[in-house]
Amino acid sequence: MTTLAKRGYHHGNLRPALVKATLRAIAEDGPEGFTLRDVARRAGVSPAAPYRHFRDKDELLAAVAGECAERLGATIDAAVAEASADPLDQFHHVGIAYVMFAFEHPEHFRALAIPNIVAKMPPEQRRALDAALDAQKQAIVAAQEAGTFAKIPIDELMLAASALTHGLAHMIVEGALGELDAARVRELAIAATGVFGVGLIPRTGELRPDPLRHKK
């Protein structure tokens, strides 16, 4: 075991070192392409060292997802704090912050996108995530009641918003839109959330048209 690894044991730094090494592994090899032995190598510790903190790969990935969720939550909280009191402005800020987070931290974004990873998080982190999502829902419902947002069913609205921001983030992280810098990513996020925001503005007439009705 290296001197650095021994020092990590003494100072309690092994767990965060393993989480950081796992994020690098996810960025380079994907969530399925690494092992605990590989993580140990990246962290500069013995193959047995990860088992001091994690029973298996799933438990390590859950810890990684929890760390990612906390960082994303802090990013979104900061974005909301910068927005005005207008619900639509806050909605835009959240969406833009999510896309920028994915661009700036692609390994964190990929970790959170692992199927069923949220269910493996520690209970307290799942409760915090659920509380944050519930707060967003309540803010939107309040905006609907105030006449600021169209009264689209809340679950459908949240699904559409998540699909838009996550889809754009995925395209950016995976290179589907080419090589981008931070300024261009922000422009794309502003444009996409802006189009969606127009769809949230109340209007007269039918709010939920059947996209297939013209094909009947």
* Model pTM score: 0.81
In this predicted structure, the answer to whether residue 170 has a pLDDT above a threshold of 50 is yes
Tell me which amino acid residue 155 is: D
Q: Residue 7 above 80 pLDDT? A: no
Q: In which element (H, E) is residue 187 found?
A: helix 182-200
Residue, of 208 and 110, whose pLDDT is higher:
110
Spatial separation of the C-alpha atoms in residues 181 and 197, rounded to whole Å: 24
Average pLDDT of span 178-185: 96
Domain map (residue ranges) of the chain: 1-54, 68-201
Model pLDDT for residues 23-36, shown as the tens digit of each residue: 988 878 777 778 88
Q: Is the pLDDT of residue 119 over 90?
A: no
Band of residue 205 on the pLDDT scale cut at 50, 70, 90: low
Task: Give the C-alpha separation, 123 to 156, whole Å.
Answer: 26
Phi, psi angle pair for 133, to nearest 5°: -65, -40
Model confidence at 214: pLDDT above 60 = no
pLDDT at 20 over 50: yes
CB 25 within 8 A of CB 19: no
* Fold assignment, 1-54: Arc Repressor Mutant, subunit A (1.10.10)
Is pLDDT of 148 > 60? yes
Q: What is the pLDDT of residue 12?
A: 59
Residue (of 115, 136, 117) closest to 125 by Cα position:
117
Q: Give residue 10's pLDDT band: very low, low, confident or very high (50, 70, 90).
A: very low
Residue 210 has pLDDT above 90, yes or no: no
The alpha carbon of 173 is separated from its chain's Cα centroid by a whole number of angstroms, namely 12
pLDDT above 70 (res 126)? yes
For tokens 């996020």, the residue is 189
Distance CA 189, CA 196 (A): 11
Among 84-93, 105-114, 134-143, 206-215, the minimum mean pLDDT is found in 206-215
Q: What is the band of 102 on the pLDDT scale with cuts at 50, 70, 90?
A: very high
If you average pLDDT over every residue of the chain, what do you get? 85
The terminus-to-terminus CA distance of the chain in angstroms comes to 69
CATH of domain 68-201: 1.10.357.10
Q: What is the mean pLDDT of residues 91-109?
A: 94
